């Protein structure tokens, strides 16, 4: 079973952040440029919130906030974190339970990456495929010995 650390080793530890004073438009441009669904909102090393496509849809457009609105006014402030040693399946359960799609990864109280539901699903499926392949080899090996 893959750990968060394994996922980050495969995808990279990079993450993208903006300051709370940055605007919705700043975030949308960064997300489009980097092809990501969310950015952290940070002051120095401290996470103040996260701004996602969902936040834009619900608190930006639908609430009538212009693209010049600061992220601090529309970001999600209730953030859930994971550590590098947690399993992908544990993260999937947390994401499903909390209805979230992105989890910042903290190590020694510092952000070392962000994982998404896509990262989790990809790794859980890879683990299942490897298990199935191993079982098929075991079964075929048993049949040959008969």
Residue 63 has a pLDDT of: 86
For residues 116-142, average pLDDT: 85
User: To 5 degrees, how large is the angle CA 77–CA 51–CA 41?
Assistant: 70
Contact 40, 114 (CB under 8 A): yes
Q: Which two tokens stand for residue 14?
A: 């990079």
Least confident among 50-54, 84-88, 102-106, 132-136: 132-136
Residue 1 has pLDDT above 80, yes or no: no
Per-chain mean pLDDT for the chain? 91
CB 74 within 8 Å of CB 51: yes
Q: Look at residue 123 and tell me whether its pLDDT is greater than 60.
A: yes
Mean pLDDT (whole number) for 131-135:
85
CA atoms within 13 A on the CB side of 127: 14
Q: 103-135: b or e for each residue (b if 16 or more CB lie within 10 Å)? A: bbbbeeeebbbbbbbebbebbbeebeeeeeeee
- Band (pLDDT 50/70/90 cuts) for residue 142 is low
35-55 pLDDT, tens per residue?
999 999 999 999 999 999 999
Residue 31 and residue 36: Cα distance in Å, rounded?
Answer: 5
Query: Does residue 20 surpass a pLDDT of 50?
Result: yes
Q: Is 51:42 a contact under the CB 8 Å cutoff?
A: no
Instruction: Assign residue 132 the CATH number of its domain.
Output: 3.10.580.10
Mean pLDDT score, 62-66:
86
DSSP three-state, residue 97: helix
Domain that holds residue 105: 4-145
For residues 89-113, give the mean pLDDT: 94
For the chain, percent of residues with pLDDT exceeding 90: 72
Q: What is the pLDDT of residue 146?
A: 46
Total domains in the fold of the chain: 1
């Amino acid at each position: 079973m893959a750990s968060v650390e394994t996922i980050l080793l495969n995808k990279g530890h990079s993450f993208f952040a903006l300051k709370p004073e940055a605007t919705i438009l700043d975030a949308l441009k960064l997300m489009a440029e980097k092809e990501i669904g969310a950015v952290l909102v940070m002051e120095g090393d401290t996470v103040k919130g996260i701004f996602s496509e969902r936040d834009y849809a619900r608190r930006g457009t639908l609430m009538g906030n212009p693209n010049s609105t600061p992220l601090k006014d529309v970001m999600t402030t209730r953030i859930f974190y994971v550590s590098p040693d947690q399993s992908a399946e544990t993260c999937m359960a947390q994401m499903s339970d909390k209805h979230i799609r992105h989890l910042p990864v903290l190590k020694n109280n510092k952000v070392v990456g962000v994982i998404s539901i896509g990262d989790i699903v990809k790794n859980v499926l890879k683990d299942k495929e490897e298990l199935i392949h191993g079982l098929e080899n075991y079964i075929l090996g048993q049949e040959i010995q008969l």
